[in-house]
């Protein structure tokens, strides 16, 4: 039985091998080195692997660095004010750290309430935004926030409008929003710098701002 199987296998193998083609001519077979890549030695493989890892690391770190240093284009630094509570996005919370020597302080400190004054203050001091805070409480305040921090806190009832400066990477614009001090007001950022709604807490829209950040009034 085993002999028979061996004979059959041998016969099969012989039949197969005898059908072997001739090798390619040497000049043709060896002409191109563009065939499969040659196997690497252990050392070469390690060197290549480390080099690859180093490249990945460098590219990754570069990506992180660029990501951290790029000016966010679509980030509106507008606070979100709802229901009398203020979320001062990016603004300092300690209002006692006012720089009273700052020229801008003079304006609210002297009770300036007209819109031109606020606009001027915003213009001069590069305010990023002006936010409203408060609610039914008469202690409502208006915060003027600049890059350096809070510049001034103004009694809310002493003003007649909000001046908002919206800054992104290449555009800065002051926006004056008339204010009804009897009604709480909120500034709602409805998207990444695409549009900002300014509305009373009861939902009535005061106005909206959208790129390129010119105010348009809606409702009453």
Partner 1 sequence: MRLSDAETYEKYAGELVRFATGLVGPDDAADVVADAFVRVLGSASWPDVDKQRAYLYRTVLNEVRMRHRSTMRRRARELRAFDREAVVEIEVRPQVLEAMSVLSTQQRAAVILTYWEDLTPGEVAGRLGVSQGSVRRHLARGRSKLREVLHD
Q: For partner 1, give the closer residue by CB, 12 or 64.
A: 12
Q: For partner 1, give the closer residue by CB, 29 or 55.
A: 29
Cβ pair 156, 134 in contact under 8 A: yes
DSSP 3-state of 13: helix
Restricted to residues 43-82, the positions that interact with partner 1 (CB under 8 A) are 44
Told to check if 3 binds partner 1 by CB under 8 A, we report no
Q: What is the Cα 199 distance to its own chain's centre?
A: 25
Which residue of 3, 23, 66, 69 would you call a contact of partner 1, by CB under 8 A? 23
Residue in the structure block whose two tokens are 């606020």: 118
DSSP 3-state of 17: helix
Which residue of 17, 66, 70, 71 would you call a contact of partner 1, by CB under 8 A? 17
Strand 141-146 vs strand 214-217: parallel, antiparallel, or unpaired?
A: unpaired
Q: For partner 1, give the closer residue by CB, 48 or 183.
A: 48
Where does this chain touch partner 1 (CB under 8 A) — which range of 30-38, 116-124, 130-138, 170-178? Answer: 30-38
For residue 49, the minimal CB distance to partner 1 (Å) is 16
Which among 76, 78, 77 is positioned nearest to 198, based on CA atoms? 78
Handedness of CA 36, 40, 46, 48 (dihedral sign): negative
Rounded to whole angstroms, how far apart are CA atoms 30 and 192?
61
Which residue of 3, 5, 66, 100 would you call a contact of partner 1, by CB under 8 A? 5
Residue in the structure block whose two tokens are 């660029």: 66
Q: For partner 1, give the closer residue by CB, 40 or 56.
A: 40
Q: For partner 1, give the closer residue by CB, 51 or 171.
A: 51
Which residue of 29, 49, 50, 109 would you call a contact of partner 1, by CB under 8 A? 29
Q: For partner 1, give the closer residue by CB, 27 or 68.
A: 27
CB neighbour list of residue 178: distance below 8 Å, 6 or more residues apart: 115, 160, 161, 206, 217
Which residue ranges make up the site for partner 1 (CB under 8 A)?
5-6, 8-10, 12-24, 26-30, 32-33, 35-41, 44
């Amino acid at each position: 039985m085993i002999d028979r199987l061996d004979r059959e296998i041998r016969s099969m193998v012989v039949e197969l091998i005898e059908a072997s083609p001739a090798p390619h001519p040497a000049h043709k077979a060896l002409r191109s080195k563009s065939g499969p890549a040659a196997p690497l030695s252990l050392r070469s493989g390690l060197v290549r692997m480390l080099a690859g890892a180093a490249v990945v690391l460098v590219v990754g770190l570069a990506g992180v660095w660029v990501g951290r240093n790029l000016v966010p284009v679509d980030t509106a630094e507008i606070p979100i004010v709802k229901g009398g509570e203020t979320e001062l996005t990016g603004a300092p919370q300690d209002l006692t750290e006012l720089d009273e020597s700052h020229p801008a302080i003079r304006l609210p400190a002297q009770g300036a309430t007209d819109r031109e004054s606020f606009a001027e203050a915003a213009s001069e001091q590069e305010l990023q935004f002006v936010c409203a805070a408060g609610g039914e409480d008469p202690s409502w305040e208006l915060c003027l926030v600049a890059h350096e921090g809070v510049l001034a806190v103004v009694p809310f009832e002493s003003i007649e409008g909000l001046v908002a400066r919206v800054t992104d990477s290449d555009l800065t614009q002051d926006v004056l929003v008339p204010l009804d001090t009897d009604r709480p007001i909120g500034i709602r950022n409805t998207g990444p710098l695409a549009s900002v709604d300014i509305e009373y807490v009861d939902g009535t829209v005061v106005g909206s701002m959208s790129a390129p950040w010119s105010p348009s009034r809606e409702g009453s």
